Amino acid sequence: MIFRKLVTFSLFYLFLWSIEAQNVEIREFEIYFIYDSDKLTREARNQIDEWLFGKDRLRLVAVELIGHCDSLGNDEYNLDLSRRRAENTRLYLLSKGFELNDITIKYYGRTKPKYSNATEEGKAKNRRCEIIAEFVDASPGKTEERIADLPFETGQKYVLPNLHFIANQIVPHWYSLDVMNELLLVLLQRKGIRTEIQGHVCCNNDHRLSEARARYITQFLISNGVDAQRLQYKGFGNRRPVEKETNEETRMKNRRIEAFILNDSGEQVEVTDFKPVTEWTFELPDIRFFPAKNNMPPASRFNLKLIAADIEKSKSLQYTFYIKADNETLMRQRMAFVEKELSAEISAKQKFQVLPWEDIPANKYHILPDMYLVIKKIK
């Protein structure tokens, strides 16, 4: 079912389309500029914040920006002015943590007026930037397929179903924590399997992130009883996509963990005393504070909000954020900042807590993050 809703404001309009079958929503709206200016007004910034970065649990995946001008001035000047209006809108999106490769720009000067230039009101509305945004549900779609159902034959690769990660993080989605236990049990039972855990990402060739995800899964398995000699890991960035990325569904298919079966001797054992893991620890290197400050760059705030969105959807889990600082005052300020950011996104405050990182290890070979996260299963 497709429906369309029109909302009118004094200098603002918004179209909504919701395609329920695909969990996709397209929002189209306009922001307006002062005469002969390319600077975003406070009203324009507030409109972007509300309609692109609001608390409606949707994830923004792509934006198209289209700059326009009124009829005053010559074609060459207006074309450049419309370009600058679109470009400054792009820069504002980047300051909020949105990724560059998901933004496209067009500009037409005064050649495509939408309103009559015969009136001052029409001219004011033609000094605009159109914003067309694509959203998807913040949680990727789960499948009914289970890891236990995979044949795991030598020389074959298998996408591990429902093992999904929060964007830009090594932290799995909340429902994928149980999937990690499922993978652990299968490998404990099938002792003859030797496998390579392979990490893949979408959108850009972030080899570091793909390898970090594969390494985390591998270390999880080893620390919970799988022989390290049976495992290896590798990250491929975005060099081996399984789909051409045209929408969120295809991007989701490329963000995956695969198991490449190196060998299977056929040895199997019965595991009668399996105890699922109920606590997971994650470093958060991509969520950092400004040095000696109590606030974060926009990209770090954006990544924190992505985790918060997953916490909001989670069930039977407790999230604890441990914060690092050089002194007690800064520690309290940073904790207050993180708690405020999380509280703005999470309705059930009992799902999370923010604590000081007191037992900071001394390790000169490892640059510690500003925070780490512990997730615990609760009844």
Q: pLDDT tens digit string along 216-241?
A: 999 999 999 999 999 999 999 988 88
The average confidence (pLDDT) of the chain is 87
Place of tokens 């009559």: 116
Residues with Cβ within 8 Å of residue 198, at least 6 apart in sequence: 157, 214, 233, 234, 235, 236, 257, 258, 259, 260
Six-digit token string for 3: 């429906």
b vs e for 315-347, b when ≥16 Cβ sit within 10 Å of the residue's Cβ? eebbbebbbbbeeeebbebbbebbbebbeebbe
**What average pLDDT does range 132-155 have in this prediction?**
80
Q: How far out from the chain centre does Cα 258 lie?
A: 20
**39 pLDDT higher than 70:** yes
**Confidence class for position 118, pLDDT limits 50, 70, 90:** very high
**Confidence class for position 99, pLDDT limits 50, 70, 90:** low
**What average pLDDT does range 12-31 have in this prediction?**
57
> How is the chain split among helix, strand and coil, in percent rounded to 5?
35, 25, 40
Contacts from 219-222 at CB under 8 Å and sequence distance 24+? 220/180, 220/184, 220/277, 220/280, 221/183, 221/184, 221/187, 221/197
Q: How far out from the chain centre does Cα 57 lie?
A: 12
| 358 or 278: which leads in pLDDT | 278
**What average pLDDT does range 136-155 have in this prediction?**
79
pTM across the whole model: 0.66
Question: Domains of the chain by range and CATH?
Answer: 24-137 (3.30.1330.60), 147-264 (3.30.1330.60), 279-377 (3.30.1330.60)
Q: Report the pLDDT value the prediction gives residue 359, as an integer from 0 to 100.
A: 75
**Confidence class for position 6, pLDDT limits 50, 70, 90:** very low
Q: Report the pLDDT value the prediction gives residue 19, as an integer from 0 to 100.
A: 31
Report helix angle 298-313 to 328-343, nearest 10: 60
**Confidence class for position 120, pLDDT limits 50, 70, 90:** very high
b vs e for 109-139, b when ≥16 Cβ sit within 10 Å of the residue's Cβ? bbeebebeeeeeeebbbbbbbbbbbbbbebb
Residues with Cβ within 8 Å of residue 366, at least 6 apart in sequence: none
**What average pLDDT does range 147-168 have in this prediction?**
92
**What average pLDDT does range 53-81 have in this prediction?**
86
Q: Report the pLDDT value the prediction gives residue 2, as an integer from 0 to 100.
A: 29
**What average pLDDT does range 202-217 have in this prediction?**
91
